[in-house]
């Protein structure tokens, strides 16, 4: 059974690189550019993992994650944050908002795949 990933990022080139890496690993991927469109996509088809840029137009990634965590139907979906600068302080805030992990966007896409695999092994989903 193939796993699915929703990438929420207003940077389509970065999202495209993530889609390629995740597809190579067997994930069915979708991409949205805003938190609002991501809510609609999640309602339409619940993904196994949501990769969210913390920098989004209108509703930021932290608020988006908190709303996902509050929704009983999707709170168990793995949520991983991506940000241009993933300092330890940013990682802590992201985890408090409901993200399992927070990665630097400059890291290779393979590190994202490793973080997702670790989440599944821990039984997060």
- Across the range 55-82, mean pLDDT stands at 88
Of residues 75 and 23, more confidence is placed in 23
pTM: 0.88
pLDDT digits (tens, 9 = 90+) for 3-61: 899 999 999 998 998 899 888 888 999 999 999 999 999 989 999 999 999 989 989 99
| Domain ranges for the chain | 4-121
- Asked whether the CA dihedral 40, 43, 48, 49 is positive or negative, the reply is positive
Instruction: Decide yes or no: CATH 1.25.40.10 for domain 4-121.
Output: no
Q: With pLDDT > 90 as the criterion, what percentage of the chain qualifies?
A: 42
- Across the range 67-89, mean pLDDT stands at 86
Interhelix angle 109-121/12-24, nearest 10 degrees = 50
């Amino acid at each position: 059974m193939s796993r699915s990933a929703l990438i929420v990022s207003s940077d389509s080139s970065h999202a495209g690189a993530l889609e390629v890496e995740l597809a190579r690993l067997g994930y069915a991927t979708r991409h949205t550019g805003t938190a609002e469109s991501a809510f609609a996509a999640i309602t339409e088809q619940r993904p196994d993992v949501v990769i969210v840029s913390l920098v989004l137009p209108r509703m930021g990634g932290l608020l988006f994650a908190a709303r996902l965590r509050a929704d009983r139907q999707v709170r168990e979906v793995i949520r991983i944050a991506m940000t241009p600068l993933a300092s330890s302080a940013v990682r802590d805030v992201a985890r408090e908002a409901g993200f399992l992990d927070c990665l630097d966007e400059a890291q290779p896409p393979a590190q994202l795949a490793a973080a997702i695999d670790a989440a599944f092994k821990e039984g997060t989903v």
